């Protein structure tokens, strides 16, 4: 057999195997049962318009955590590239901790650990404040690493040019380095937004009401109430409605970044 | 410092015993150099001779390992020196232009005036336009650096440095990264600047520029100044064997 023939044969075998697997699944599956579990249009329709509240909450939680992550993450990134040792070490430890801990555990810590340790503590905005900090801490570690990479990707010559014009170190950072670094960092930050959108599904552990419920919790309640999985499918589609455009945007920004 | 010349004007740059080492590698091994106001000095020499390091020490982009530097009235090597204030008066032009890639051409020239000198925006931009016109860049104010040719970018970089009103200009191989046909436009701008009386320290491989424009040429090799004198002397009749062989290699690369 020539290599070409061998390649063809192997490809043919793969097609046959895939076709066989699909055929077996189709024959064995109870299509009526599947349709009943996932595609009950009446149940899907009944979720509206109530589903818009948790949908909106998912967006709000994501953005709150992202804003908190930026507010904390950018200074951490600056500390990470600082010439002052203790800043670098602190930032390093911070990043390692919050990148290494599960988001769920951090959320528990913020939601239950901190209030226990500091009785009487009130988060601003109630559950919204808890979410911003609880999810934002994890996010800030990832954002800090992305921004640090962006800062280090700005050519040294840009800094030298700024310093040679009499700009101070801080002035150079604000005027020259950060604007260029943030541009480099937009695609990874968009990905972070996608991750946060999904992580917002953890918020239910804080104990949420109808008004503060996020999408996964809402879908799960509907699942339990109807003993049917259709609400999960609707919830999943609504997540994709948020994350797919973000992914496409991230890819666009990435290719445009290359062109420059 | 010296007490001999009371009538002699203070030099704009005074370098004494300048040393720079990276680990075990001593790049500058005791440089003494004075630049009078309005003087144009070209630094030539083989790569690794320390000429770029010397230039970068003048505005302390490189920190000297030893020696003293006084430039434009600032004691650069004093640990308490306000380097930012000193650098405002010392313009620098880089081999790779280093224009701010996220800013328009106009902003590139105006930004330091606005952020460092706190010049109002309208005033800074008017000055930027004047400086751009001076280097022959017009109608490109809204363009990004990447949209300009190398020669145009380098002329913008010169305008950017000039906009701060420097007393001294440092040029670090300003034409080495340019396509050959773009070298002339940059050298022409530098020549005009020299004619206006700007004090200039230029690291260059353009021997014709050095011959025509420089008041003095320094030949560096192995971290020391090997020869120094008027271009006619150093470039045409070098005394040392090292300078002779370097110049021969530069002027007759094919032999």
Rounded CA-CA distance A34/A52 in Å is 26
Average pLDDT for residues B64-70, to the nearest whole number? 96
Considering only residues 187 to 206 of chain B, which have any Cβ-Cβ distance to chain A shorter than 8 Å? none
Residues in Cβ contact with A225 at an 8 Å cutoff, skipping those fewer than 6 apart: none
Average pLDDT for residues A123-152, to the nearest whole number? 94
Average pLDDT for residues B26-52, to the nearest whole number? 95
Look-up: residue for tokens 């062109």?
A259
- Nearest Cα to B11, choosing from B68, B79, B52, B93? B68
Listed ranges A10-14, A41-45, B156-160; the one with the highest mean pLDDT:
B156-160
* Per-residue confidence (pLDDT) for residue A103, from 0 to 100: 94
- Is beta strand B25-35 parallel, antiparallel or unpaired with respect to B224-229? unpaired
Yes or no, beta carbons of A165 and B94 under 8 Å apart: no
- Nearest Cα to B175, choosing from B127, B210, B134? B210
Nearest CA in chain B to A159: B98
Rounded CA-CA distance A136/A66 in Å is 6
Rounded CA-CA distance A94/A77 in Å is 11
Whether the bond between B14 and the residue before it is cis, its omega within 30 degrees of 0, is no
Residues of A within an 8 Å Cβ radius of B: 155, 157-158, 160-168, 171, 175-176, 179-180, 183, 260
For residue B179, pLDDT beyond 70:
yes
- Partnered with residue B199 across adjacent β-strands are B168
Rounded CA-CA distance B124/B31 in Å is 38
Yes or no, beta carbons of B116 and A167 under 8 Å apart: yes
For residue A259, pLDDT beyond 70:
no
Rounded CA-CA distance B202/B41 in Å is 6
* Per-residue confidence (pLDDT) for residue A258, from 0 to 100: 46
List the single best residue of A153, A159, A165, A259 to mutate versus B (max B Cβ within 10 A). Answer: A165
Q: Considering only CB atoms, which chain B residues are within 8 Å of A171?
A: 115-116
Q: Which parts of B23-120 fold into alpha helices (H)? A: 51-58, 83-88, 105-115
Q: Using alpha carbons only, how large is chain A's radius of gyration in Å?
A: 24
Q: Which two tokens stand for residue A235?
A: 């919830």
Q: Considering only CB atoms, which chain B residues are within 8 Å of A173?
A: none
Q: Does B155 touch chain A (CB under 8 A)?
A: no
For residue A251, pLDDT beyond 90:
no
Q: Which two tokens stand for residue B93?
A: 């032009």
The pLDDT confidence band at residue B7, using thresholds 50, 70 and 90, is: low
Q: Which fold has domain A41-259?
A: MetI-like fold (1.10.3720)
Yes or no, beta carbons of A171 and B102 under 8 Å apart: no
Neighbours of B4 (CB within 10 A): 6
All structural domains of chain A with their residue ranges: 41-259
Average pLDDT for residues B128-148, to the nearest whole number? 95
pLDDT averaged over every residue in chain A = 92
- Is beta strand B66-71 parallel, antiparallel or unpaired with respect to B13-22? antiparallel
Look-up: residue for tokens 């701010």?
B100
Q: Which residue has the higher pLDDT, A255 or B37?
A: B37
Distances (CA, A) of B188 to A22, A213, A258, B113, B202: 75, 70, 35, 25, 14
Considering only residues 40 to 59 of chain B, which have any Cβ-Cβ distance to chain A shorter than 8 Å? 59
Distance from the A81 Cα atom to the nearest Cα atom in chain B, whole angstroms: 19
Rounded CA-CA distance A254/B192 in Å is 43
Length of chain A: 260
Q: Which two tokens stand for residue B201?
A: 């320290």
User: pLDDT tens for residues A23-47?
Assistant: 999 889 888 888 888 899 999 999 8
| Element (DSSP H or E) covering residue B156 | helix B150-162
User: pLDDT tens for residues B77-127?
Assistant: 999 999 999 999 999 999 999 999 999 999 999 999 999 999 999 999 999
Distance of CA B138 to the CA centre of its chain: 24
The pLDDT confidence band at residue A172, using thresholds 50, 70 and 90, is: very high
Yes or no, beta carbons of A164 and B92 under 8 Å apart: yes
What are the backbone dihedrals phi and psi of residue B8, each rounded to the nearest 5 degrees, phi first? -65, 130
Query: Do the interacting molecules here have an ipTM over 0.85?
Result: yes
pLDDT averaged over every residue in chain B = 94
- Nearest Cα to B172, choosing from B102, B242, B91? B91
Give the closest of A157, A171, A179 to B98, CB-based: A157
Q: Considering only CB atoms, which chain B residues are within 8 Å of A157?
A: 94, 96, 98
Distance of CA A80 to the CA centre of its chain: 22
User: pLDDT tens for residues B183-229?
Assistant: 999 999 999 999 999 999 999 999 999 999 999 999 999 999 999 99
Rounded CA-CA distance A136/A76 in Å is 13
Strand order from edge to edge, sheet including B66-71: B25-35, B13-22, B66-71, B74-75
Q: Does B90 touch chain A (CB under 8 A)?
A: yes
For residue B6, pLDDT beyond 70:
no
Q: Considering only CB atoms, which chain B residues are within 8 Å of A165?
A: 87-88, 112, 116, 160-161, 164
- CA atoms within 13 Å, Cβ hemisphere of A54: 28
Q: Considering only CB atoms, which chain A residues are within 8 Å of B59?
A: 164
Q: Considering only CB atoms, which chain B residues are within 8 Å of A179?
A: 102
- CA atoms within 13 Å, Cβ hemisphere of A90: 12
List the single best residue of A83, A150, A156, A166 to mutate versus B (max B Cβ within 10 A). Answer: A166
Average pLDDT for residues A206-211, to the nearest whole number? 87
Residues in Cβ contact with A238 at an 8 Å cutoff, skipping those fewer than 6 apart: A51, A55, A58, A215
- Partnered with residue B28 across adjacent β-strands are B20
Rounded CA-CA distance B230/B2 in Å is 24
* Per-residue confidence (pLDDT) for residue A256, from 0 to 100: 62
User: pLDDT tens for residues A78-119?
Assistant: 999 998 999 999 999 999 999 999 999 999 999 999 988 998
For residue B5, pLDDT beyond 90:
no
Nearest CA in chain A to B84: A166
- Partnered with residue B44 across adjacent β-strands are B219
* Per-residue confidence (pLDDT) for residue B111, from 0 to 100: 96
Average pLDDT for residues A224-247, to the nearest whole number? 93
Q: Which two tokens stand for residue A260?
A: 């420059």
**Burial tier of A198 (Cβ tally within 10 Å: 0-12, 13-18, 19+):** middle
Distances (CA, A) of A90 to A84, A97, A229, B171: 10, 11, 46, 40
């Amino acid at each position: 057999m020539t290599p070409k023939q061998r390649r063809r044969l192997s490809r043919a075998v793969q097609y046959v195997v895939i076709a066989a697997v699909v055929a077996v699944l189709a024959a064995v599956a109870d299509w009526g049962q599947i349709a009943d579990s996932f595609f009950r249009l009446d149940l899907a329709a009944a979720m509206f318009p109530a589903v818009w509240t948790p949908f909106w909450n998912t967006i709000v939680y994501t953005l709150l955590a992202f804003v908190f992550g930026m507010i904390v993450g950018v200074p951490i990134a600056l500390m990470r590239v600082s010439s002052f040792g203790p800043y670098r070490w602190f930032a390093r430890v911070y990043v390692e901790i919050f990148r290494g801990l599960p988001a769920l555990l951090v959320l528990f810590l913020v939601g239950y650990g901190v209030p226990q340790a500091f009785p009487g503590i009130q988060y601003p905005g109630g559950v919204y404040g808890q979410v911003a900090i609880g999810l934002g801490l994890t996010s800030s570690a990832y954002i800090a690493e992305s921004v640090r990479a962006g800062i280090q990707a700005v050519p040294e010559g840009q800094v030298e040019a700024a310093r040679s014009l009499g700009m101070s170190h801080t002035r150079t950072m604000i005027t020259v380095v950060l604007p260029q670094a943030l541009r480099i960092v937009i695609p990874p930050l968009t990905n972070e937004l996608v991750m946060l959108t999904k992580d917002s599904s953890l918020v239910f552990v804080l104990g949420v009401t109808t008004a503060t419920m996020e999408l996964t919790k809402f879908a799960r309640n509907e699942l339990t109430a109807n003993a049917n999985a259709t609400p999960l499918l609707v919830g999943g589609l609504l997540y994709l409605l948020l994350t797919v455009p973000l992914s496409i945007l991230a890819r666009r920004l990435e290719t445009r970044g290359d062109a420059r | 410092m010296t007490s001999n010349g009371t009538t002699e004007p203070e030099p704009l740059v005074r370098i004494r015993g300048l040393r720079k080492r990276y680990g075990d590698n001593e790049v500058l091994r005791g440089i003494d150099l004075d630049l009078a106001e309005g003087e144009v000095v070209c630094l030539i020499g083989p790569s690794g001779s320390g000429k770029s390091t010397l230039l970068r020490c003048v505005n302390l982009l490189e920190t000297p390992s030893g020696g003293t530097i006084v430039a434009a009235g600032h004691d650069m090597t004093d640990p308490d020196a306000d380097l930012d204030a000193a650098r405002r008066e010392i313009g620098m032009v880089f081999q790779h232009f280093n224009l701010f890639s996220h800013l328009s051409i106009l902003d590139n020239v105006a930004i330091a005036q606005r952020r460092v000198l706190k010049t109002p925006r309208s005033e800074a931009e008017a000055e930027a336009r004047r400086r751009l016109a001076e280097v022959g860049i017009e109608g490109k104010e809204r363009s990004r650096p990447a949209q300009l040719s190398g020669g145009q970018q380098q002329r913008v970089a010169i305008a950017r440095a000039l906009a701060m009103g420097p007393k001294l200009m440092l040029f670090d191989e300003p034409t080495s990264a340019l396509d050959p046909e773009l070298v002339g436009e940059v050298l022409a701008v530098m020549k005009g600047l020299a004619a206006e009386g700007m004090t200039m320290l230029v690291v260059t491989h353009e021997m014709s520029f050095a011959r025509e424009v420089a008041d003095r040429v320094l030949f560096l090799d192995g971290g020391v100044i090997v020869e120094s004198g008027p271009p006619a002397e150093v470039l045409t009749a070098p005394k040392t064997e090292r300078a002779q062989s370097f110049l021969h290699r530069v002027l007759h690369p094919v032999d």
